[in-house]
């Protein structure tokens, strides 16, 4: 555990945290990113992805006075060019009332330490192009926002069609 101001901590999530993490995803992150219309995850699905028989991701939680006020969901990936594993941050979210408290910085530092500990060659994530506050924060932390890469995605019916 790491403390920010004596009351806030960053720790690995447990199965008991899933409801709080899911609530932050559904009611806060999706709303903030203006993507509630795309949010179809279920609490059970998140639980299975984090703590099922074949976990797909891990999560850190930021806790203040016993309440989860942020989370960082991540997983390992692999770079063929580097021939090494990497750590990919899918989500990082801190409640607006806690922004500027150091929790986001502490979560990123903890994830960077995990990446080093796991012998990852890189630590990366995506950011929405309109989220200038996040871009500025990441650049201040030493990250580079890559201008020449785009996310490519196939979902739903198009994914089904591609699979045939």
Q: Is position 93 annotated as part of the catalytic site?
A: no
pLDDT, residue 3, reads: 52
Residue 40 buriedness (CB in 10 A; 0-12 / 13-18 / 19+): exposed
Measured in residues, the chain has a length of: 164
Residue 155 binned pLDDT confidence (cut-offs 50, 70, 90): confident
User: What are the E-state strand segments in the chain?
Assistant: 2-3, 8-12, 58-64, 67-79, 84-94, 122-125
pLDDT, residue 6, reads: 60
Residue 126 domain boundaries: 2-163
pLDDT, residue 134, reads: 92
Percentage of the residues of the chain whose pLDDT score is greater than 90: 89
CA Rg, the chain, in Å? 16
Instruction: From the candidates 71, 88, 93, 138, give the one annotated as an active-site residue.
Output: 138
Domain tally for the chain? 1
Q: Which two tokens stand for residue 130?
A: 């309109």
Q: Which of 92, 88, 41 is nearest to 71 (CA)?
A: 92
Within 10 Å of residue 138's Cβ, how many Cβ atoms? Answer: 18
- What tens digit of pLDDT does each residue of 69-123 get? 999 999 999 999 999 999 999 999 999 999 999 999 999 999 999 999 999 999 9
- What tens digit of pLDDT does each residue of 18-48 get? 999 999 999 999 999 999 999 999 999 999 9
| CATH number of the domain where residue 27 is located | 3.40.630.30
pLDDT, residue 151, reads: 87
Those residues with Cβ within 8 angstroms of residue 131's Cβ, 6 or more apart along the chain or in another chain:
33
pLDDT, residue 84, reads: 96
Cβ contact 75:48 at 8 Å: no
pLDDT at 1 > cutoff 80:
no
């Amino acid at each position: 555990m790491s403390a920010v101001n004596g009351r806030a901590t960053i720790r690995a999530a447990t199965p008991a945290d899933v409801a709080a993490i899911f609530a932050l995803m559904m009611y806060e992150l999706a709303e903030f990113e203006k993507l509630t219309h795309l949010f179809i995850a279920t609490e059970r699905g998140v639980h299975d992805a984090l703590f099922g028989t074949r976990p797909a991701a891990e999560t850190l939680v930021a806790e203040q006075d016993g309440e989860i006020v942020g989370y960082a969901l991540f997983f390992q990936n692999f770079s063929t060019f580097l021939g090494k594993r990497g750590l990919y941050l899918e989500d990082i979210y801190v409640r607006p009332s806690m922004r500027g408290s150091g929790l986001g910085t502490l979560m990123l530092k903890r994830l960077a330490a995990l990446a080093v500990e796991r012998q990852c060659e890189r630590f990366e994530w995506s950011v929405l192009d309109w989220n200038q506050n996040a871009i500025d924060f990441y650049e201040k932390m030493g990250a580079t926002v890559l201008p020449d890469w785009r996310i490519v995605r196939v979902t739903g019916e198009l994914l089904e069609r591609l699979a045939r």
